[in-house]
């Protein structure tokens, strides 16, 4: 998918909502546990109920690896289901990978070619040669951690390096890498006041924004400071949508929460 | 495993060799491709040929995820084989994971409980709450990236933060985290001159050292500057051992290379 197509989908759906598919067997509706593949059945129901309201789905690989072989199968079925039923939806493997060059190439192929995700999240600590292998795929993206939504973000990301915060150095440095036009960035909504500065460095890049809702970030604030000409935002919600209910009505309630967010977004576009 | 047991194994075997199990279908001996599970067969042969010379094995998860479901099965079989046949050997899931707290917990359980690795490598960029979940397991370890062996290490890790390199801030900060005694660190052999400074911060911690051999690091230099009272080093070699030959004699040749390293190590202990 190109960013132009992603932008068009946002305009068509009046939404820049990304739904995090983080299915946890301890939290999904108990009646699903009797099915052969509860994780996939849960994801499928969420996708069926929300696909017209979301422009992106983001399965976090941890929630699949936690179930070993069965989990990996659920991940394959989930991405195949999205790609088959809703090929216009942007898909993100939230894997936060990063390793030396030849090893990053293995990860990149696994997620961007074999599983056919549109994008994968990556960690910046190992630098250029750990990220560039993810940028070598036409119309695919690496979404690099810049400023995350968790408390630990202040441990290193906001430390001052050469007169500015580390996350700014990370953003600026990454723009010099090969195929850097295939980069997007993770920026937490809990730090909305930082978006103005970030937009000075990456005015047009898409930003994947976790932390609205459960983690306390404000959608209005993020849009005020973070929206670009082509919108440039994918606002993620996971728990607030997928665990809106754990009864038989979980998919319906998930749709209600997604609809609330989509309507807020439509008003902000 | 405790660090005392690991130290004892090092003394018993006169070795602090870690072998990286990074099997790539394009590089393993072609005759293995006809078997049902070439990756596992390759790893099994390497383990059978080297287990008396190595104190640790380190499968890198990328080399398994690259083969999807089949790859994950090969990973399970590989770790189960090591744990069953050679329970005294320290095992490292080289996964370089790190995410917000509840998600890191999923990864930690997957690798340290379900797959029953002794340790897992983790990335520091997201800070305290992304790493602490990996430290909550008795006699298990998180091996955190500090100063890596690749070129990109100089992009961010050696930037000056509060008057010292970022990797030193990472080391110092991590010592304040809960259960920090369960931390080990990745320090590349290609930067042997840095070991003196690192040992001032973490005098006793075990360091996992990639980059000897193929990447140009010197075993003698690393030992000179990095060895601690309890040895405190695990020197990793992957390609130099496992791809010593890609003929029928691959396991035998792997043993020869491992033996050379073990003999060098014995002389340095």
In A, minimum Cα distance to B26 occurs at A106
Residue A216 clears pLDDT 90, i.e. is over it: no
**pLDDT value of position A156:** 98
Active-site residue list of B: 96
> Active site includes A13?
no
| Cβ neighbours of B30 (radius 10 Å) | 10
- Asked whether A90 and A55 are in contact (CB, 8 A), the reply is yes
In this prediction, residues B78-84 reach a mean pLDDT of 98
In this prediction, residues A84-93 reach a mean pLDDT of 98
pLDDT digits (tens, 9 = 90+) for A153-167: 999 999 999 899 999
ipTM for the complex? Answer: 0.96
In this prediction, residues B18-41 reach a mean pLDDT of 97
Question: Residue B30 to residues B24, B27, B41, B247: CA-CA distances in angstroms?
Answer: 11, 8, 12, 8
| Partner-chain contact A69 B63, CB within 8 Å | no
Catalytic residue from among A70, A77, A96, A109 = A96
Q: Name the domain count of chain B.
A: 1
- CATH number of the CATH domain containing B162: 3.20.20.70
Q: Which domain holds residue A114?
A: 3-268
**pLDDT value of position A191:** 80
pLDDT band of residue A214 (cuts 50, 70, 90) is low
pLDDT band of residue B214 (cuts 50, 70, 90) is low
The CA distance from A68 to B65, in Å, is 11
The CA distance from B184 to B143, in Å, is 4
**pLDDT value of position A193:** 85
Give A 35-64 residues with CB within 8 A of chain B.
60, 62-63
In sign, the C-alpha dihedral spanning B148, B154, B155, B156 is positive
């Amino acid at each position: 998918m190109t960013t132009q197509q992603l932008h068009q989908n946002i305009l068509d759906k009046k939404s820049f909502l990304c739904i995090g598919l983080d299915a946890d067997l301890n939290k999904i509706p108990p009646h699903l546990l009797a099915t052969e593949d509860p994780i996939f059945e849960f994801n499928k129901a969420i996708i069926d109920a929300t696909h017209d309201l979301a422009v992106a789905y983001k399965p976090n690989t941890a929630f699949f690896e936690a179930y070993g072989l069965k989990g990996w199968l659920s991940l394959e079925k989930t991405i195949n289901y999205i790609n088959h039923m809703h090929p216009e939806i942007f898909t993100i493997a939230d894997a936060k990978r990063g390793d030396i060059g030849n090893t990053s190439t293995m990860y990149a192929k696994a997620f961007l070619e074999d599983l056919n995700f549109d994008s994968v999240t990556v960690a910046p600590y190992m630098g250029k040669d750990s990220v560039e292998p993810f940028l070598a795929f036409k119309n695919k993206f690496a979404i690099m951690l810049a400023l995350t939504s968790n408390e630990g973000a202040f441990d290193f990301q906001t430390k001052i390096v050469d007169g500015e915060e580390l996350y700014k150095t990370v953003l600026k440095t990454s723009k010099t890498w090969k195929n850097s036009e295939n980069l997007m960035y993770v920026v937490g909504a809990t730090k909305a006041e930082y978006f103005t500065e970030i937009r000075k460095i990456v005015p047009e890049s898409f930003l994947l924004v976790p932390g609205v809702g459960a983690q306390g970030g404000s959608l209005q604030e993020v849009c005020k400071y973070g929206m670009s000409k082509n919108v440039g935002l994918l606002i993620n919600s996971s728990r607030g949508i997928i665990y809106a209910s754990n009864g038989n009505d979980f998919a319906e309630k998930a749709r209600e929460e997604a609809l609330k967010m989509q309507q807020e977004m439509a008003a902000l576009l």
